[in-house]
Chain A
Amino acid sequence: MATIQESLEVGLKIVVEKSATRWVTDTRDMAVMPPEAQKWTNESWWPRALAAGFRWLAIVMPKSVVSKMAIDRSLDKNAGHETQFFGDVEEAIAWLKTKP
């Protein structure tokens, strides 16, 4: 199984290739992000994603509250992006469609 870091790297590669600014991610069944992955996301992934022009992240909320808090922790150290949690994929996509 791919680690969270591996999955995010694949996503970032696509962001760069497609010049993507918006992303919907379904985390309903995602395992809890370990502390080292949270740190890596904040310190390594977000700066590179923001530098590539990425701006809007719609997250379909995990079922686990702990998992949601872990994701929160991986988001809070970088400005310049707008991230929101949603109950389902349709809502998340509808929100992203309002973004340029």
Chain B
Amino acid sequence: MGKPPKKPHELVAPERIEHLMNLVFGLAAGATDRDMARVEVRNDDHFAELEQLLNAFAQEFLDARDTAESLARERQQLIEDQENLIHQLSTPILDVWKGVLVAPLIGELDDARMDRFTEALLSRISERGSTGVILDITGVTDLGPQTAATLARIARAIALLGCRAIVSGISPAIARILVEHGVELGVPTAPTLDAGLRMFLRRRGLASVS
């Protein structure tokens, strides 16, 4: 059977207690309406003091919650801003020669980072009318087969914009990964950034640059 009904209060009207309980439960459940977060004080008795006290407390509680939420939003915005800044700093795209960009990739290349990088790189190529891009992976710590495939897709996307791509900085360890997983980058490669730059310069008839 359900619980037996509670005995009516002898001194305070049950609805006054009910209103106070609703006030507290409403606040606990996340109520935001300030007009609803108060009870009407009609009597001039000791219980009215409790009603007034809880009304005041409810308003202060809502103030404190508003402040906490505002701080949490500001903190979240700061985190997002810092993430954007870190992203920009970790994937710089440099103009190193007329029409030639160098994009050094550093650290771990996760999907989200590669997506943002691809978007930024393709926009830059389009804006500058670049004819060559060197994707330098000297600073890449780990290149899984999936990331290698992504790199190959970026190189193809670059080609679609009428731009030539070279992947430089392929270490022996990364070369082994590419071979083991049968990943074809589909673009010329160079062991170092320096060698990559020379390849572009040779194509432009500047082979004497040493």
CB <8 Å contact, B26 and A80: no
Interface range on chain A: under 10, 10 to 19, 20 to 34, or 35 or more?
A: 20 to 34
Across the interface, which residues of B come within 8 angstroms of A70, CB to CB? 25, 28-29
CB distance from B30 to the nearest CB of A (A): 7
Contacts of A69 in B (CB 8 A): 25
Q: How far is the CB of A68 from chain B (nearest CB, A)?
A: 11
Contact with B along A31-62 (1 / 0, CB 8 A): 11111011000000000000000000000000
Neighbour of A33 across the interface among B1, B3, B6, B29, CB < 8 A: B29
Q: Is A19 an interface residue (CB 8 A)?
A: no
Taking A66-B24, A73-B21 as contacts, is the C-beta distance between A31 and B29 under 8 angstroms?
yes
Q: Knowing A31-B30, A34-B29, say if A81 contacts B24 (CB, 8 Å).
A: no
Q: How far is the CA of A80 from the CA of B5 in the complex (A)?
A: 13
CA distance A69 to B3 in the complex (A): 13
Closest B residue to A69 using CB positions: B25
- Does B31 have its Cβ within 8 Å of any Cβ on chain A? yes
Residues of B within 8 A of A90 (CB): none
A6 within 8 A of partner (CB): no
B22 interface residue (CB < 8 Å to A): yes
Q: Judging by beta carbons under 8 Å apart, are B2 and A35 in contact?
A: no
In the assembled complex, the Cα of A84 lies from the Cα of B201 at a distance in Å of 81
What residues of B have a CB within 8 angstroms of the CB of A66 in the complex?
24-25, 28
CA distance A83 to B3 in the complex (A): 9
* Contacts A/B (CB < 8 Å), 17 sampled: A31-B30, A32-B25, A32-B28, A32-B29, A34-B26, A34-B29, A35-B25, A35-B26, A64-B28, A67-B28, A73-B21, A73-B25, A76-B3, A77-B2, A81-B1, A81-B2, A82-B1
Q: A34-B25, A64-B28 are in contact. List 18 more A-B contacts (CB 8 A).
A: A32-B25, A32-B28, A34-B29, A35-B21, A35-B22, A35-B29, A38-B25, A66-B24, A66-B25, A66-B28, A67-B28, A70-B25, A70-B29, A76-B6, A77-B2, A77-B5, A80-B1, A80-B2
